[in-house]
Amino acid sequence: MKKYLLIPGPTPIPPRVSKAMQKPMIGHRSPEYSEILKRVVENLKYLFQTENDILLFSSSGTGGMEASIVNLLSPGDKAIVLASGAFGERFVKILESFGVEVISLRCEWGAIIDPKLVARELDRNRDIKAVFATLVETSTGVVDDIKSLGKICRERKVLLVVDAVSGLGVEELKTDDWGVDVAISASQKGLMTPPGLSFISISERAWEAAQTSRIYRFYWDFKTYREFLEKEQPPYTPPVSLVFGLDEALKMIREAGREKLWERQKKLAKATREGVKRLGLELLARGSFSNGVTAIKVPENIDGLELLKVLREKYGVTLAGGQERLKGKIFRIGHMGYIQFKDILIALGALEKALLSLGHRLKKGEAVKRAKEAHTESSK
């Protein structure tokens, strides 16, 4: 049975990227690796829309989150986290484990936190050093208003750290224009590369904060990575094959153009949402929908885990479940990375059949029809 992976990371890999990763090994101190590293950083800057330094780490996204915290802050510092889902809560956990005092702003999962609340909290607590937000909260499928947060933080001279692990390559991120001091992303989502690499964009203001940060670190030390990057080298052995893959994926993105990518994502997301609604299902988010992942409420008469099992075992379609408090209550369709419109249609078709087999009432064929209409409508 052919398998379809529609989860919010890791995503399927384009054949060009798979092929690039099969290239013979090279040394990471070779001129050839330096050329690749330079090009990868240049192309990441293009996607992050930044002139800042970008450092590459051998880690998943969480490693990038931790690296940002240990380089910017000191025990006893205060930070605000917009904790609107599982990944906002991850920032809270990492910060607290390093002794940072956290003010967590929370909301119902599926909603977003109004940036005005952040401004109010910053005005009440003048000693806050940094605000942590998530571009795409993957657990709920909503997008934070990074532009407004950037303005609020800049006006108050507070650092803004953004988790763009699920966001980069999916949503537009104007790192410099919006005043994002640290943006973190990873290889396995919008960037169509296997998991294992994270990358971090660091502003001048963030570099200043790194001078005085007093959390112990060695492997994650930004300064070491920057010194080596100036020599076009990594400080430690990188996952060379993954870097080959990332290089190829970024070339593909550059060839198509970043605007095309965001436009394509928008169309896929719209088609997915419209198709799902036509199945009689309800979306978790009320607005501020992500273009990379759609979270859907499991109907009351259906067992969410059984639904995913039927999809996977009978139709070869893997979707994601809900995380933490949303486990069993929602499921998620990932439409980021190397996902094409026909994959969405296959997923919707399989979803329709699986729902029918579990006793959900719907009108056959309507979801795929509506998704096609929505896809065409958004092309106009």
- Give the list of residues 6+ apart from residue 219 with CB closer than 8 angstroms, or none: 236
Asked if residue 71 binds ligand PMP (CB under 6 A), the reply is no
* Residues 2-21 contacting ligand PMP, CB under 6 A: 9
Q: Which amino acid is at 343?
A: D
Coil, helix or strand at residue 163: strand
What's the CA gap between 380 and 377, in Å, rounded? 6
Binding marks (x or -) toward ligand PMP, 91..130, rule CB under 6 A? ----------------------------------------
Nearer to ligand PMP, 118 or 184 (CB): 184
Does 291 help bind ligand PMP (rule: CB under 6 A)? Answer: no
Cis peptide before 10 (omega within 30 of 0): yes
By CB under 6 A, residue 175 contacts ligand PMP: no
For 288-342, the DSSP string reads SB-SSEEEEEPPTTS-HHHHHHHHHHHH-EE-EE--GGGTTTEEEEE--SS--HH
Sorted by sequence, the CB contacts under 8 Å of residue 42 that are 6+ apart come out as: none
Spatial separation of the C-alpha atoms in residues 264 and 336, rounded to whole Å: 10
Considering only the stretches 29-37, 54-62, 206-214, 360-368, report the one whose residues sit in contact with ligand PMP under the rule CB under 6 A. 54-62
- The answer to whether residue 87 forms part of the interface with ligand PMP (CB under 6 A) is yes
Q: Within 10 A of 47 (CB to CB), how many other CB atoms are there?
A: 24
Distances (CA, A) of 115 to 131, 152, 194, 285: 11, 8, 33, 17
Only one of the segments 56-64, 68-76, 265-273, 362-370 lies at the binding site for ligand PMP (rule: CB under 6 A); that segment is: 56-64
Smaller CB separation from ligand PMP, 152 or 186: 186
In degrees, rounded to 5, the angle at the alpha carbon of residue 41 between the alpha carbons of residues 43 and 129 is 110
CB of 89 vs ligand PMP, minimal distance in Å: 10
239 contacts ligand PMP (rule: CB under 6 A): no
Using the minimum distance from each CB to ligand PMP, give the nearer residue, 134 or 352: 134
- Give yes or no for residue 68 binding ligand PMP (CB under 6 A): no
* Least distance between ligand PMP and beta carbon 59 (Å): 7
DSSP conformation class of 257: -
Chosen residue from 89, 145, 163, 274 binding ligand PMP by CB under 6 A: 163
Do residues 135 and 173 make contact, with C-beta atoms less than 8 angstroms apart?
yes
Near ligand PMP by CB under 6 A, which window of 162-170, 275-283, 335-343, 370-378? 162-170
Cβ of residue 329: shortest distance to ligand PMP, in angstroms?
18
Q: Is 159 in the site for ligand PMP (CB under 6 A)?
A: no
Is residue 62 involved in binding ligand PMP (CB under 6 A)?
A: yes
Q: Which residue is nearest to ligand PMP (CB)?
A: 61
Q: Which stretch, 163-171, 213-221, 228-236, 247-255, contacts ligand PMP (CB under 6 A)?
A: 163-171
Q: Does 249 bind ligand PMP (CB under 6 A)?
A: no
Q: Which stretch binds ligand PMP (CB under 6 A): 109-117, 146-154, 161-169, 170-178?
A: 161-169
Residue whose entry in the numeric block shows the structure tokens 């750290």: 161
Structure tokens at 82: 């917009």
Element containing residue 184 per DSSP (H, E): strand 182-186
Q: Which residues bind ligand PMP (CB under 6 A)?
A: 9, 60-62, 87, 134, 136, 138, 163, 165-166, 186, 195
